[in-house]
Amino acid sequence: MSSDKITIHDIARILNVDSSTVSRALNNSPRVTEKTKNRIIAKAQELGYQRNDLASNLRKNKTNTLGVIVPRISRHFFSSAIAGIEETAYNLGYNVIICQSLEQLEREQNTVNTLLANRVEGVLVSISMETKNYEHFEGLRKRKIPFVFFDRHLNVPETSSVLIDDFQAGFDATEHLIIKGCKKIAHFSGPMDLEIYKNRFAGYKAALLKHHIKFNDELIFNSRLMEQDGIENADKIIGLPYKVDGIFSANDVAAISALQQLKRNDFKIPEDIAIVGFSNEAISAVIEPSLTTINQPGFNIGKRAAELLISQISGNNGSVIDEKIIIQANLVERDSSQKNQGNK
Amino acid sequence: MSSDKITIHDIARILNVDSSTVSRALNNSPRVTEKTKNRIIAKAQELGYQRNDLASNLRKNKTNTLGVIVPRISRHFFSSAIAGIEETAYNLGYNVIICQSLEQLEREQNTVNTLLANRVEGVLVSISMETKNYEHFEGLRKRKIPFVFFDRHLNVPETSSVLIDDFQAGFDATEHLIIKGCKKIAHFSGPMDLEIYKNRFAGYKAALLKHHIKFNDELIFNSRLMEQDGIENADKIIGLPYKVDGIFSANDVAAISALQQLKRNDFKIPEDIAIVGFSNEAISAVIEPSLTTINQPGFNIGKRAAELLISQISGNNGSVIDEKIIIQANLVERDSSQKNQGNK
DNA sequence: CTGTTAGCGCATTCAT
DNA sequence: ATGAATGCGCTAACAG
């Protein structure tokens, strides 16, 4: 009844064999007779034996575990990325420990230590908004634990990243607005320490340049792109002496709250103003038809990042250690002419 | 340089003390002189020592780890719940291992074993759509590992659950439509093995009864409530010989895809048809103003569930072991008169 | 094919 | 206040 704490020794004693035989049998070693193997497995099942992975991993000095650090698990982009990571990890026999930094550097540092203490064999990380340098990842390097950045990265030598092509996405977004006829295009930008926001901003500027539209510093609204920021940005836009006719927002949260705030002030979207914002699969499924979005392929990024990391762990990376994998984001314009939606 | 594999023995050797002293010092035991303690801590830091939690946990027979099983991490309700779980766990010094069942019973069974092998001290679970009985949780019970269901639960004796009041939510949703003037209200229901769908359906029927509207079996569309199901449901509604004027969908995914499909077929929402669907914080933030939603407080449910579980682990549950905590969901009607949105 | 022995890294009892 | 000895549960090297 009480199947509390059954060990291989318990099984061994009952069956009059040695615990090492039990261990071998349970690990399906070829060095045990089919007959005893079956006896052992049957008894183990009967007693409800469960291997203690702590002990096993300690002994083997191998955990088959990856660490993941994301800013916030409840952001859909990250939970999709985790789903992608898990799929790859699961198929390749790895477990995953997930940690949140909650956008705080200090917590990010702590999570690295937690992962280290848990002897993960590799780490996937998307840095917090507060993260400016990679000191706290040096411990991983020293211990030769490979790590791969995804989406939000730092330029660390000999470290790979899996990224969205943010420059291109920013360029596409802005050009899309220009082609629609917009002349005064505002940009909601994020912390410039983060490559992704820098690159999106660069894409914005490049598109203006290409189309001979003068860059206007007044139209750049820098913030942390939270819900409240979008509202405030919208208010500022409304307050400007001239008319803004387009917005390219570097994320969806601010884009959506700005959109709602504009509507509350009787702006018509997109007649008065057109918006492009980064988004993700869930939100873009329900978003306003008027809001063009750039799809962030979280699942694929997670998948690719995990594949890359595991290949580095296994050492079958043909000298490619400082690789940047660039994944294209898709500009998705939603309108009622889009018929063929939602198939599988 | 190579801070590979530093153990307490390494530190002990260098400092000419015993490893047990190092262990004590590193655990801030009062049984070591401040002086040696400082020397040890300094040296540990210098060498980049990191405790091996595998060994530590094995020795202590204590992992301070909770397991979480959810159907799919990328569904916002679940990732919010996980965020709530993590907050509580983090504050109380617990780690969390997250597993996905991907709605498959077999994977759910496997995850239980994985968690068992990892010697978690408690488990939080939201069951898959395929789960009909609790055999595979018996191993937890036998090992005296407490587990708590959240959101999707089974009636297991002596097991607590943290739930949304689905009956009430279903009732509110349906009554809302009736008060709006709807007479022919369709219901998109989910698998009836799951309590949540059963209860939402019961709430629907109760509201009809209260308002003397005859129940019509033809208006019940049972499915797994995926995107494609919503589209198919919408098509069926369009094909009916009489006019449906309201829909109560038991989840958001099907509600949204149905809504889009109806629009594509020139139905006006909500003039032709009104919809209430369960939803979550992210989606309700961007959802059509015309679509009334029922907010699912994922974060709070996760938080409460984790608190309950940890209190059971600690044994300071005053004999309350089979508790049902019911959390109210909020009906949120979105319309343009809603001014004061998005404030922190 | 199976048993014996050893030790992964740590925390803890008991001794001094 | 510190050291010595032990074992958590498991796997692996070496015997036989």
Establish whether domains B64-164+297-326 and B166-296+331-342 are of one fold: yes
- According to the model, what pLDDT value does residue B42 have? 94
Is there a contact between A73 and B63 if contact means CB atoms under 8 Å apart? no
DSSP A11-48: HHHHHTS-HHHHHHHHTT-TTS-HHHHHHHHHHHHHHT
- Confidence (pLDDT) at B260: 77
d(CA A66, CA A46): 32
What is the model's pLDDT at position B283? Answer: 54
CB-based contact A3 B143, cutoff 8 Å: yes
Query: What value does the mean pLDDT take over residues B190-208?
Result: 92
More confident residue, A335 or B280: B280
CA distances from B242 to B148, B219, B236, B259, B282 (A): 45, 11, 11, 18, 35
The verdict on A97 touching B (C-beta cutoff 8 Å) is: yes
A256-270, B104-118, B194-208, range with the lowest pLDDT: A256-270
Report how many helices (DSSP H) and strands (DSSP E) chain A contains, helices first.
Answer: 13, 12
SS3 B307: helix
pLDDT-based confidence at A40, cuts 50/70/90? very high
| Contact status, residue A186 vs residue A178, Cβ threshold 8 Å | no
Mean pLDDT of all residues in B266-287: 66
Give CA separation, B122 vs A85, A174, A188, B82, in Å.
25, 50, 44, 15
Tell me the nearest-neighbour CA distance from A90 into chain B, angstroms.
10
- Each residue of B277-331: pLDDT tens digit? 776 644 544 555 567 778 778 898 999 999 999 999 987 665 556 777 887 777 7
The predicted-structure confidence for A131-144, as pLDDT tens digits, reads as follows: 999 999 999 999 99
**pLDDT confidence of residue B275:** 73
Give the whole-number percent of chain A exceeding pLDDT 70.
89
List CB contacts (< 8 A) between A142 and chain B: 1-4, 48
Do A342 and B260 lie within an 8 Å CB cutoff? yes
Report how far residue A111's alpha carbon sits from residue A194's, in angstroms, rounded to the nearest whole number.
Answer: 20
Note the pLDDT of residue A64: 96
Tell me the per-residue pLDDT of A169-215, one tens digit each, with 9 for 90 and over: 899 889 989 998 999 999 999 999 888 899 999 999 999 999 999 99
Burial of A126 (0-12, 13-18, 19+ CB in 10 A): buried
C-beta atoms of B263 and A336 within 8 A: yes
Q: Which nucleotide is nearest to B5 (CA to C1')?
A: C9
Q: What CA–CA distances, in Å, run from B320 to B122, B139, B154?
A: 16, 21, 18
> What pLDDT does A285 receive?
47
- H helical segments located in chain B: 8-15, 19-26, 34-47, 53-60, 76-91, 105-117, 138-142, 166-179, 195-210, 227-239, 252-264, 281-286, 298-314
Residues 34-73 of A with CB under 8 A from B: 48, 50-55, 57-58, 63, 72-73
Domain boundaries defined on chain B: 3-51, 64-164+297-326, 166-296+331-342
A231 contacts chain B (CB < 8 A): yes
Structure token pair of residue B51 = 């405790």
H/E stretch holding A153: none
Residue nearest C6 (alpha carbon to C1'): A59
Q: Is the pLDDT of residue B342 over 50?
A: no
Q: Does A324 touch chain B (CB under 8 A)?
A: no
- Could you tell me which CATH class the domain B64-164+297-326 is placed in? alpha beta
- Give me the CA B56–C1' C9 separation in Å, rounded: 7
Q: Which amino acid is at A126?
A: S
CA–CA distance, A125 with A153 (Å, rounded to integer): 8
- pLDDT tens-digit series, residues A229-284: 999 999 999 999 999 999 999 988 788 888 878 878 888 877 777 777 776 644 55
Nearest residue to nucleotide C7 when comparing alpha carbons to its C1'? A59
Q: Between the CA of B16 and the C1' of C16, what is the distance in angstroms?
A: 18
* pLDDT value of residue A296: 75
Count chain A–chain B contacts defined by CB atoms under 8 A.
160
- Give the tens place of pLDDT for each residue, B49-100: 999 999 999 999 999 999 999 999 988 889 999 999 999 999 999 999 999 9
Chain A positions touching B72 (Cβ under 8 A) are 83
Cβ contacts of B341 on chain A, cutoff 8 Å: 231, 257, 260-261, 264
Q: Closest residue by Cα to the C1' atom of nucleotide C3?
A: A18
Task: Give CATH superfamily name and number for B3-51.
Answer: lambda repressor-like DNA-binding domains (1.10.260.40)
Pick the most confident of A156-160, A233-237, A315-319, B156-160.
A233-237
Is residue A65 predicted with pLDDT exceeding 90? yes
- Mean pLDDT value of segment A277-297: 64
- Looking at CATH, the fold of the domain delimited by A166-296+331-342 is given as Rossmann fold (3.40.50)
pLDDT number for residue A321:
67
Which residues lie near nucleic chain C, judged by CB under 7 A?
A 16-21, 24, 31-33, 35-37, 55, 58-59, 61; B 5, 7-9, 19-20, 23-24, 26-27, 49, 51-52, 55-56, 58-60
Å separating the CA of residue A42 from the C1' of nucleotide C1? 19
A76 and B79 within 8 Å at the Cβ level: the answer is yes
How would DSSP label each residue in B217-255?
Answer: GGGEEES---HHHHHHHHHHHHHSSS---EEEESSHHHH
Q: Residue B57 CA to C15 C1' — how many Å?
A: 26
Q: Greater confidence, B156 or B323?
A: B156
Binary contact (B97, A97; C-beta < 8 A)? yes
Asked if B83 has any chain A CB less than 8 Å from its own CB, the reply is yes
Q: What is the mean pLDDT of chain B?
A: 87
Please name the member of B2, B76, B263 whose beta carbon is closest to the beta carbon of A282.
B76
Q: Is A141 on the interface with B (CB under 8 A)?
A: no
DSSP at B68 = E
